[in-house]
Amino acid sequence: MKSAVTQNDVAKEAGVTRSMVSYVISGNSDRSVAPETRKRILDAIERLGYRPNKAAQALQQGDVGFAANKIGVVLCTSETFLRPYYAEILSGIHIEAHKQNFQVSFIRFFHELKNPVLFNSLIHEEEIGGLILVATDQCLKTDEDKKIIAKIKERLSKIVCVEFQYEGLSSVMFDRQATAQRATEYLIQKGFSEIGYIGEDDDRVHGVQLALSEKNLDAKRDNFFIAETFDMSGGFNAIDSFPADKKIPRAIVCGSDEVAIGVLRGLSKKNISVPNDVAIISIDNIEISEYTCPPLTTMNVQKKAMGEQAVKMIVSGTAGKDECALKIMLPSSLIVRESC
């Protein structure tokens, strides 16, 4: 049986010291390594087929130390993978983790953590040094769900909520109220006074309401809130099922670009022109928003930056809990296109 290749073998092959090989393998940035030296080591690793001995590393560093640069990610549901908005957040997490020489150890769904065997195998400091919860507030329906969060909080010291806030935990998200308020203000500046909203029932609704009330427009929730939804089919259905005896508002704020795409399809089915008959503004600025017909005017949300910031908080140790919880709110910006 062929013996395992060691770091000493790599060092001999590359003509360097074993400690130099160890630095390159670990991604340690405390010591600079010349590019040509790094290349020699990596070439030797490839030729020899070297693989790190995880058991030896854990024995040397201790289980907690071995897991310190590993991050776990928990998503709401498998559908989160299908949403381009969250794909950009995940991209930011992976990019920043790689940049910081950290590893994304696992990506799981919240309901999986209800399995005590899986929970106990994943959620502890001998497995990961930090955990990122992405939009899992959408899953917190019962007291049992909240107990899962409490157990996570007991087990881990570095936890970051992305796209939501949770009492006692650090978080990074965009200001939903200010973003929706700015979107509504833009419509008002364009001369629109009959404005409706289709989207999630959260701080975005308050933002629309605030902008309307400040201009003495109809800010009664029942009058401007058309439908609660979060995806394309919901946006389409909101328009497709709009009461025949009611007039569709002259302008609509959509809670997300995905909702707006559904709204565009619904309006097209009714032969309603955008922006000539109904103006649309949305929130997110996912890539497809530039290629709809017409291209969407939207509020740009720093999606990748949220993922990157979450990793930075774990790496820097600023992802505190309780009175030390850090809350970061990223600003948004207006992207003007052709839908209003």
Q: Which fold has domain 7-52?
A: 434 Repressor (Amino-terminal Domain) (1.10.260)
User: What average pLDDT is seen over the chain?
Assistant: 91
Q: Quick one: pLDDT at residue 181?
A: 98
Question: What band does 29 get if pLDDT is binned at 50, 70 and 90?
Answer: low
Give, in degrees to the nearest 5, the angle at Cα 219 between 222 and 190.
120
Q: Evaluate whether 226 touches 242 at the Cβ level (below 8 Å).
A: yes
Average pLDDT over residues 5-24: 85
Identical topology for domains 7-52 and 65-174+304-330: no
Global pTM reads 0.81
Q: How far apart are CA 237 and CA 82, in angstroms?
A: 20
R_g (Cα) of the chain, nearest Å: 25
Domains of the chain: which residue ranges?
Answer: 7-52, 65-174+304-330, 176-302
Nearest to 53 by CA among 10, 93, 88: 10
CATH of domain 65-174+304-330: 3.40.50.2300
- In the chain, the N- to C-terminal Cα span, in Å, equals 70
Question: What band does 224 get if pLDDT is binned at 50, 70 and 90?
Answer: very high
150 has pLDDT over 80: yes
Side-chain-side CA neighbours of 197 within 13 Å: the count stands at 29
What top-level class would CATH report for the domain 176-302? alpha beta
Lowest mean pLDDT among 50-54, 192-196, 235-239, 271-275: 50-54
28 has pLDDT over 70: no
